[in-house]
């Protein structure tokens, strides 16, 4: 099967959400302000597509994100640990590293 177009992906996602919706397809369409006939048409379109090769990867996957930490970067030098909420100035960082490596 060829790669899905943006439009196919858009309507496929709507159909997945409509399937998970607690009401009917018509109620989902009304809640999303979409003509119900459009959803029926796309459902019929996807139903008529040839079956996907079982060895292919699914088009959609759930993405989980980790909570964002306030610390952007941590520098560990011997027994000193510096934590920054944003990247330090590159020139300052170069001077710090040069000074820490000096005998």
The domain spans of the chain are 6-48, 70-103
pLDDT of residue 27: 92
Return mean pLDDT, the chain. Answer: 80
Across the range 13-30, mean pLDDT stands at 90
pLDDT-based confidence at 52, cuts 50/70/90?
Answer: low
Residue-wise DSSP of 15-37: HHHHHHSSS-HHHHHHHHT--HH
pLDDT of residue 40: 93
Residue matched to tokens 């079982």: 54
Listed in sequence order, the residues at least 6 apart from 4 whose beta carbon sits closer than 8 Å to its beta carbon are: 12, 59
């Amino acid at each position: 099967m060829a790669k899905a177009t943006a439009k196919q992906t858009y309507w496929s996602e709507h159909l997945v959400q409509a399937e998970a919706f607690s009401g009917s397809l018509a109620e989902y369409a009304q809640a999303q302000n979409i003509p119900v006939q459009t959803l029926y048409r796309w459902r019929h379109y996807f139903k008529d597509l040839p079956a996907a090769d079982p060895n292919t990867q699914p088009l959609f996957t759930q993405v989980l994100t980790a909570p964002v930490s306030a610390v952007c970067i941590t520098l560990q030098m011997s027994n000193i640990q510096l934590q920054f909420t944003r990247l330090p100035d590159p020139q300052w960082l170069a001077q710090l590293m040069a000074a820490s490596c000096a005998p």
